[in-house]
Amino acid sequence: MAGGFSRSNIGGLLAKQGILIAFVIFMIGFTIANERFLAPENVMGVVRSSAILGVMALGVTFVVISGNLDLSVGSMMSFSTIVVLDLHDKIGPALAIPAMFAMTLCLGAFIGFLVGYLKLNSLIVTLGMLSAIHGLTLTYSGGKNMDIADKDGTWFAVFGQSSALGIPVPILIFGLLAAVLGMVLAKTPFGRKVYAVGGNGVAATFSGIRRARVVFTCYLLSAFCVATAGLIQASRSLGSQNTVGQGLELEVLAAVILGGASLLGGSGTIFKTIVGVLILGFIQNGLLLVGLQFYAQYVVTWVIIILAVWLDIAAKRGRLLSPIA
C-alpha cells in the first residue's frame, strides 16, 4: 500500500483519536456558523466557565478509573458552596475555607468507606448520597439562598473573580490542580494502583494492593476537588441557591467519558478528561453563538455527546453497528 493513508491507517487514527476528530469537526462547523467562535476572548470565556466543571471532573476521573462512579459531586458542590458562604460571615473567610474543606472531605470519606471498605455498589451509594447531601444542604440553610453581607469588602472574591498574570484565577486553579493530579495519576505508585484496582480488582488484591484503601482515597480526592469547585463557585457569585450544583454530576461524568475513560474502570487520563471538559464547554458555547435557545441546548448537548461516544466506539470496533459489543 504505497502512499501515506491506507484504509487501515485511517481506521487506526480514528480508533485512537475518534473523539478529538469529532471535536475538530464540531469546531469547524461552529466557526463557519459564527466567526466569533474562535476569537481569543470567546475561547478564554469558555475555558473560564468550564473551570468549575473541570475541577470536579479531575476528581471524578480518579473514581471512574478505579472502577466506580460518583454521582454525588453535584449536590456535594452545592453543599460546599452554601457552607462556605454561610461560614464566611460567621467566622470569617480564613477559617470558613478550611472548615468547609474539612466538612466536604468528611462526606467523601463516608462515601469512600461505604464503597471501599463495605464494598457497596458505588452507583447506589452515590445516587443515595446525591439526595442525602441535597437534604443536608437544605437543612443547613433552612432552604434559603445564602449571600455574603458585605460583597465589596471581602478578599474572598479573589478565587472566582480576579486574575493573575492576565489569567483568571479559576483557570489557574484548574490548571494547577490538573497538573498536580495528572502527575499523581500518571507517575506515582498510588496512580498505578488506581489503574490496577479499576482494571482488575481481583488481580490487584492478589498482588498485595489494599483495594479498599485505594478506592477510599479516590473518593477523598474527589471530595477535595468538589470543595475546590465549591470555593470557586462561592467566590465568583458571593451568593448562591441551594441547587447551584444540581445536574453537574452528569455533566462531569459526560466530560470524563467523552475524554475516553472507560466506565468499566482501568482506563482514562487527566489529559483526556481536560479534553472532554473543553469539548463540552465549546459545544455549549457554540450552540449559544449559533443562536440556539438556552432550553434547547440541554437536548442538543446530549445528542452531540451520544453521537460523539458512538463515533468513538464505532471507530474502535471498526464498524458502525455490531452484533456483539
Cβ atoms of 245 and 83 closer than 8 Å: no
Q: Taking the complex as a whole, how short is the minimal distance between the CB of residue 164 and another protein, in angstroms?
A: 26
Read off the C-alpha cell for 63: 473514581
Question: Given the complex with another protein, which of 144 and 187 has the nearer CB atom?
Answer: 187
Q: What are phi and psi of 168, to 5 degrees?
A: -60, 140
Query: Rule CB under 8 A: which residues touch another protein?
Result: 8, 12, 183, 187-189, 192-193, 195-196, 199-200, 202-210, 266-267, 323-324
Distance CA 226, CA 211 (A): 23
Distance CA 132, CA 113 (A): 16
Which residue is it, cell 488484591?
205
Q: Taking the complex as a whole, how short is the minimal distance between the CB of residue 37 and another protein, in angstroms?
A: 37
Question: Given the complex with another protein, which of 2 and 202 has the nearer CB atom?
Answer: 202
Closest by Cα among 155, 176, 131 to 270: 176
Q: Taking the complex as a whole, how short is the minimal distance between the CB of residue 256 and another protein, in angstroms?
A: 17
Q: Which H helix or E strand runs over 111?
A: helix 93-112
Map residue 306 onto helix, strand or coil: helix
Read off the C-alpha cell for 272: 483526556
Question: Given the complex with another protein, which of 143 and 189 has the nearer CB atom?
Answer: 189
The C-alpha angle 126, 69, 271, rounded to 5 degrees, equals 135
Question: Given the complex with another protein, which of 168 and 265 has the nearer CB atom?
Answer: 265
Question: Given the complex with another protein, which of 261 and 304 has the nearer CB atom?
Answer: 261
Q: Taking the complex as a whole, how short is the minimal distance between the CB of residue 197 and another protein, in angstroms?
A: 9
Q: Taking the complex as a whole, how short is the minimal distance between the CB of residue 17 and another protein, in angstroms?
A: 17
Cβ atoms of 80 and 239 closer than 8 Å: no
Q: Taking the complex as a whole, how short is the minimal distance between the CB of residue 206 and another protein, in angstroms?
A: 5
Question: Given the complex with another protein, which of 8 and 131 has the nearer CB atom?
Answer: 8
